[in-house]
Amino acid sequence: MRNAAPALFLAAFLLSCSRTPQRSLTIAVNAGVEGTALKAAAKEWGEANHARIEVVELPYANLFEKEQLDLTSRTGAYDVIMLDDPWFPRMAADLARLPRDPDSDFVSTCLEVCRNPYKTGAYLALPYVGNAQLFFYRKDLFEKYRLAAPKTWDDVLVAAKKIGEGEKMYGYVMRAAPGNAVVADFMPLLWAFGGGVMEGNRAVCNSPPAVEALRFMLELGKYSPPGYAGFNADEVSAHLLQGTAAMSINWPAWIAAMDDPAKSKVVGKIEFSQMPGERDPGVGELGAWLVAVPAGSKHAADAFDFIYWATEPAQMKQAALKGNPPTRRSIFQSPDLMAKFRSYPAQLASLESARPRPRTAEWNEIENSFGIYLSKANDGAMDPRAALNAAADSIQKILERNESATHP
């Protein structure tokens, strides 16, 4: 018996070593409404698959830097990452290719940004949150002043003037803080007036249509609250929620707040529509959240399993109920969800026509530079033409420095 003890101990040790190691996934998500649903999905997948799930929740600004560091150094710290679509061109080189192409139920604009190169290349991510800019306006005031739903930016300007004067409120509110804020509010105007930021490797943001679009933005600024040149999304939404402004460009994440009596003084009064046009049809900016597997992931098979599962219709419906705009057409058209979310038809139309930001790895730097000059123009520190010339000069330098290949 004494001789059997070491043998039993050895057998137990070998048995413990031969057990299948526990499955585990580390997932980086955005700390916000977009990340909440993915967190819940990860927990559910972990329980169903007996896998240990670690969710690293990071604020938007930190999420990019942490993910970028992990991707470039290939540490394998994260198995699944959630990324904003403008980050995709920079991160694409360090993402693992999807084992199979996604199905055609996904909205095509969302799928196109998951390919590298844009629209034509291999799929490296799956679209999880279908964000596209919408136009928010006060339906009750439009009816009061017998104004038709705004189809063009000229309609918006006329309505801003009429409502602003009649109601002693701001006819329009926009965000013009430097960086992403002002660029996001300018892009729909720029596109509607027929302008663009870049053509290939050439900065064209000082073209005549672009100057005209910026002049129009400043005209709208006359009906916006003083200090809008420092506004971010919070300030814009606060004006809408408090009923002190009548119209704005906004993101779907704010729709729920508009109809929440605890936060809003304008419950049921805000209508959501597609972006107004001008010379060209109106298009909003695409801001889809994607899920991808870093090339350095040590649990790639499980990670792919999870992202395919999390973007299946049943799971996406769960995410939609938690407030995430879906990326699948079937979810937008699901009768029970359409009854629950009155903005879904406008959201789907907007998403289907949305345009992504220029597909270049240098977009963060370009957006920062462009945003500085747009903000200066909105603050009155620079004339629109001079601001756009300076922006074009700066963007050109960035493009030349990085010899970036872009896709419009």
Partner 1 sequence: MLLALSIYPLIYSVKLAAADRRNFTRLFTDRLFLTASIQTIWLTLSALSIEFLLGLALALLIDSLARGRMFFRTALLIPMLLPPVVAAVAWRLIYNPQFGVLNGTLRRLGFHTADLTWTSGESSALASVILVDVWEWTPFLFLLLSAGLQAIPPEPLEAARVDGAGAWRIFRDVTLPLLKPTIVLALLLRTMDLVRIFDQIFILTQGGPGTATETVSLYIYRTAFRFSNFGYAAAMSFVLLAATLLFSRGLLRAMRAR
Q: Which is nearer to partner 1, 115 or 376 (CB)?
A: 376
What is the amino acid identity at position 245?
A
Angle, CA 304 vertex, CA 302 and CA 305 arms, to 5°: 60
Q: Does 137 bind partner 1 (CB under 8 A)?
A: no
86 three-class SS: helix
Q: Which is nearer to partner 1, 177 or 303 (CB)?
A: 177
How far from 140 is each of 168, 251, 341, CA to CA, in Å? 15, 21, 19
Q: Which is nearer to partner 1, 105 or 167 (CB)?
A: 167
The token duo for 343 is 């903005």
- The Cα 258–Cα 266 span in angstroms is 7
- How many CB atoms are located within 10 Å of the residue 43 CB? 12
**Of 78, 137, 228, 272, the one binding partner 1 by CB under 8 A:** 228
- The Cα 319–Cα 296 span in angstroms is 27
SS3 for 221-283 is HCCCCCCHHHCCHHHHHHHHHCCCECEEEECHHHHHHHCCCCCCCCCCCEEEECCCECCCCCC
Q: Which is nearer to partner 1, 155 or 362 (CB)?
A: 362
**Of 362, 391, 392, 399, the one binding partner 1 by CB under 8 A:** 362
Q: How far is the CB of 140 from partner 1 (least distance, A)?
A: 21
**Of 105, 312, 365, 383, the one binding partner 1 by CB under 8 A:** 365
* # chain residues binding partner 1, by CB under 8 A: 36
Q: Does 140 bind partner 1 (CB under 8 A)?
A: no
Q: Which is nearer to partner 1, 110 or 382 (CB)?
A: 382
- How many CB atoms are located within 10 Å of the residue 262 CB? 6
Binding mask 314-353 for partner 1 (x = CB under 8 A): ----------------------------------------
Q: How far is the CB of 107 from partner 1 (least distance, A)?
A: 28
- The Cα 270–Cα 302 span in angstroms is 43
**Of 2, 7, 22, 226, the one binding partner 1 by CB under 8 A:** 226
Binding mask 236-255 for partner 1 (x = CB under 8 A): --xx--x-x-----------
Q: How far is the CB of 7 from partner 1 (least distance, A)?
A: 45
Which of the ranges 35-43, 259-267, 307-315, 359-367 carries the binding residues for partner 1, by CB under 8 A? 359-367
Q: Which is nearer to partner 1, 201 or 244 (CB)?
A: 244
**Of 118, 142, 373, 388, the one binding partner 1 by CB under 8 A:** 373
Q: How far is the CB of 73 from partner 1 (least distance, A)?
A: 11
Q: Are 85 and 290 in contact (CB under 8 A)?
A: yes
Strand order in the sheet with 23-30: 51-58, 23-30, 80-84, 289-292, 125-129
Q: Does 379 bind partner 1 (CB under 8 A)?
A: yes
- The Cα 306–Cα 297 span in angstroms is 13
Running DSSP on this structure, what letter comes out for residue 24? E
**Of 86, 89, 102, 225, the one binding partner 1 by CB under 8 A:** 225
List of residues contacting partner 1 (CB under 8 A): 64-65, 68, 72, 90, 176-179, 225-232, 235, 238-239, 242, 244, 362, 364-365, 368-369, 372-373, 375-376, 378-382
